[in-house]
Structure 1
Amino acid sequence: MATKKASILAQFAAIFLTLLVADVRCNDPNDKLRAVYSWKALEFTFPNEQAREAAIAVGDFIPGSPMPIDVDTYLHDGRFGRRIFVTIPRFQKGVPVTLGFVTTEVTADGNPKIAPYPNWNWQRSGDCDGLTSVWRIEIDRCGRLWVMDTGKIEERQVCPAQLLVFSLETNRLISRYRFPQSQVRESSLFVTPIVDARGHMCHDTFVYIADVSGFSLLVYDHQNLRSWRISNNLFYPYPNYGTFDIKNEVFDLMDGILGMTLSPLRPYGDRILYFHSLASKVESYVPTSVIRNYTLFADNPEAASRSFVAFKNERSTQSAAQAMDKNGVLFFGLLSELAIGCWNSVNYDYGDEFIERIAQNEDTLQFPSGIKVITSKNGRQELWVMTISFQRVMTGTMSPNETNFRIQAAVIDELVRGTKCDVASININSVRQSTHGSLTFPTE
């Protein structure tokens, strides 16, 4: 009976996703993001029920414990279709898969199952040749999946921190880089990789990595297989903003640099790295031409301190993940407001008076922990958001009877139309277009 019910739910999910593809517009201005997937608790595609029960028996899987953090999606031309990847860090016990993708298999109550990526062999806890604990990922325009593995299980550093690169065409490992111990602090947690791939073949690739609790920035030069550490006061948490109030649940967290993203390539050949600490309302920036300079920082991590600049004006609240589109529009969560905000970096100074609230919902936008801008095959830009009930984890009030995790998406043109973030309308002063893009949702 359970198998039949799951099959019916899977068919219903496929039909529902097809309907979503037809039109992503929404009449409610406070609910522009459309649901892709949601979970009360994560389940996984174990080889069989016996394997699942064995994992539970030894504590490798504690139902209700795994919590997703990040999302990214890749539209493959071949047999895989669109795949949606999720990360599930092992900051608590009972997480059998730390990097996976969403499948069309569902549980009896309709929760989609997560399959391990690239396979189960990579997911063995404590195997330093596999994946230990992945917080965030990024897929670049050359079909490479960049995976930042902290090497930590709960608070224990069981394996070296490593940056892995997989080909999404072959699902094979391209390269692995283990960070030198001299660049790692006892408190370090490398969580956010931002990939700067340039040139037709992406040979010129740097990755900028946030050390959220070591309060530093790591820079990895892929072509020369080397990295360096950068220190700056702007990477630290701001004590006045270490208390979070999300849907009337309050907790304290003094996390440093976390949210980062890159501007489009400027006419003079440079990009800007935007960044902020989790415990802050401040956005800052630095030209990538500065931080890509190995010679400058090799012997002095605190070099060029004045090249790192904080905007004078602040946001209304703290923010976690962020992403910037090809028009220079920044998208980010506004944690206490239960909203997604945007800022047009081309036309406006930074500050709350120039930030638009393009989506707001007290149920579906609790703690946007993962945000990506995706360019679809038809050239349309899409915003993908992972939201989690993180405040419930911090306060110990997580309920298995409520939806706790969501992946949502929307066409960016639709999200920003008529706002300060509608760059095309502002710059060209054009009439609103009558045709609309639509998202292509995943099929296995």
Structure 2
Amino acid sequence: MEGEIHTLGTRIWGSGPFHALPVVSQKDLVKTTSGAPWTWSLTLALTLAVTGSWINLVEAVEVEKIDLQELYGWKTLDYAWPSKESRDVALARGDYIPINNIIVGIKVWEDRLFISLPRWQPGVPSTLNWVSYNFSEGFAGPPLSPSLNPFPSWEMQEIGNCSAIQFVQSMEIDPLGRMWVLDAGRRNFFTNTPDTHCPPRLVLLDVKQDNRVLHTFVFPDNVVSHTLGFLNDLVVDVSGGGDGSDWYAYISDSGVLPDSGGGIVVYHLGTDRAWRVYDKASMNVETGAASEAVIGGKMTVLRSNVDGIGLASLADGTDRVFYAPLGSFNLYSLPTSLLRNPPADPSEVTRAVVNLGRRTSQGDGMAVDSTGAIYFGLLNQDGFARWPREARITEGNPSNAEVLAVDPVRLQWVNSFSFDNINKYQIVLSDRVQMLQGYNPNEVNFRVFRHKINARSYMYPD
């Protein structure tokens, strides 16, 4: 059969195994071979589609308008195990499968970099971790490759224990030192046998003092589907001030509900309640050219609903949420006042959506700094861009955003952003997600960079 589809997402029904994708360099010509016929029903996440046609990869040009310091670089990921014997046992049992461990989320708090690893597949012993973050101002390398320390403990990583953390895609750390952790609950949904017996939750952890669990909220099934939900990313609205009890989280759910598809989930800490706001046109994957891109030399079909999310800065009154599906060029926004008090009529949500315009590429990670600048990845350009607040207000076109860096090797799939709020750096993760199930363990696959922006996170005054 000419061409084959490699699907990394929720498998509802079908036949045939997953196949590893070939590893190629930037100058390779990529062509697929035949594969077993598959029948799929797709609901979310990533579909890597290799079409069977030749992709001629021209010599790419590197662009770096900033001093991009590479802090960490891992070929494969390993852990600070309690003992060598525990690692050997995990390998023998399949509890640790190195090739299935990838980084998708990062956050900095003081002297620690927190790292999330999705349990899309088996063999991920710890889904939330940390490494030491302590670099001089003029750090010039070489990049570090430290072992990962489970956070808050090994015990809290226990697979199948619904009181422990099951699957972290992303997290945020507020100015009070509380980590807001998205625990998707279900695991192994890129396999034939997904495990859905643990519900999706929001877990608050104390990273400032003793790493203890401060609060846990279980999302109702009518807000986040316990079988089809995919809690992807979040921002925290701190405009309520005070002790943080009146703060909100706005969460992108790339999964589906039968009547809406993807949506934005709102959680209010003060009342311990959550609800869902959706708009089918702007929060679901588009068809056509927007749903595919060549990333690091691979033709990649992007079938994921609302994904990247950002919040207007505190200086702007946190008045708007920005968002985009993975499979979309467009960047959208909604007023936070509507998200906090959603109308009964969904058409009112649709009328409130603002299409801010078309980006030059689809993107995954998104972030806003304290000046109101929006940062987003450029998947088909192997880089990332900055759209300043002034340009957004005066020009209103994200296609004119400044491309900060392009690197066809080091910036394949920019997935996550964070901020060093003490030293005013932005932190950037690239992770080659398009190579999932085909990582080359002899190459550096996961990189964390920083660059000086003289600004902090959207949650802080400029």
Using the size of structure 2 for normalisation, the TM-score is: 0.76
Residue of structure 1 in register with 2:41 after alignment: none
Cα distance in 1, alignment partners of residues 83 and 160 from structure 2:
23
8 A Cα contact 2:103 2:431, kept in partner:
yes
Q: How does 1:32-431 map to 2 (within 5 A)?
A: 32-75=67-110, 82-103=111-132, 111-155=145-189, 156=194, 157-168=196-207, 169-185=209-225, 186-198=227-239, 199-214=241-256, 215-233=262-280, 234-240=282-288, 241-265=290-314, 269-293=317-341, 296-297=342-343, 303-311=348-356, 313-347=357-391, 348-376=394-422, 380-393=423-436, 396-413=437-454
Helix, strand or coil at the partner of 2:435: helix
Stretches of structure 2 lacking an aligned partner (at least 5 in a row):
1-62, 134-142, 257-261, 456-461
In 1: Cα distance, 2:377 partner to 2:69 partner: 16
Higher helix share: 1
How far apart are 1:304 and its partner, in Å?
A: 2.8
**Displacement of 1:303 after TM fit?**
4.5
Preserved contact between residue 41 and residue 111 of structure 1 (Cα < 8 Å): no
State which drifts further: 344-353 or 117-126.
Answer: 344-353
Change (3 A) 1:314 1:51: same
* Matches of 1:364 and 1:336, distance apart in 2: 13
Per-residue deviation, 1:265: 3.2
Query: CA 1:300–1:56 in 2, change beyond 3 Å: closer, same or farther?
Result: farther
SS of residue paired to 1:410: strand
- CA shift, 1:352, in A, is 4.7
In structure 2, the CA distance between the partners of 1:165 and 1:352, relative to structure 1 (3 Å rule), is: closer
| Residue identity matched to 1:355 | A
Runs of 5+ consecutive residues of structure 1 not aligned to the other structure? 1-27, 76-81, 415-423, 425-444
Identical pairs, percent: 27
Distance between the aligned counterparts of 2:286 and 2:103, measured in 1?
26
Partner Cα distance (1:389, 1:64) in 2 = 13
Q: Does the CA-based 8 Å contact 1:103-1:114 persist in structure 2?
A: no
Shift of 1:359: 1.4
Shift in alpha-carbon separation, 1:103–1:113, aligned structure 2, 3 A: farther
Tell me the CA shift for residue 119 of structure 1.
0.3
Residue range with higher mean Cα deviation, 197-206 or 51-60:
197-206
* d(CA) in 2 for partners of 1:292, 1:140: 19
Task: Please report how far the alpha carbon of residue 301 of structure 1 lies from its aligned counterpart in structure 2 after TM superposition.
Answer: 5.6
Q: CA deviation at 1:63?
A: 1.9
Q: Which amino acid in structure 2 is aligned with residue 73 of structure 1?
A: V
The secondary structure found in structure 1 opposite 2:86 is helix
Report deviation, 1:200.
3.3
Pairwise CA distance, 1:266 = 5.5
1:152 Cα offset (Å): 1.4
State how far apart, in whole Å, the 2-side matches of 1:223 and 1:368 are. Answer: 34
Corresponding letter in the other structure for 2:413: F
Shift of 1:310: 1.0
Query: Structure 2: how far apart are the matches of 1:228 and 1:182?
Result: 9
SS in 1 for 2:91: helix
Let me know the Cα RMSD of the aligned residues.
Answer: 2.0
Rounded to whole Å, the distance in 2 between the matches of 1:70 and 1:282 is 23
Q: Structure 2 vs 1, CA of residues 301 and 102 (structure 1 numbering), >3 Å: closer, same or farther? A: farther
State the partner residue of 1:442.
none
Q: 1:304 to 1:253 in 2, by over 3 A?
A: closer
Give yes or no for contact 1:231–1:302 (8 Å, CA) kept in 2. no
Q: Which runs of 4+ in 1 moved over 6 A?
A: none
Moved more, 342-351 or 209-218: 342-351
Aligned mates of 1:33, 1:158 — CA distance in 2: 42
Shift of 1:332: 1.1
TM-score by length of 1: 0.79
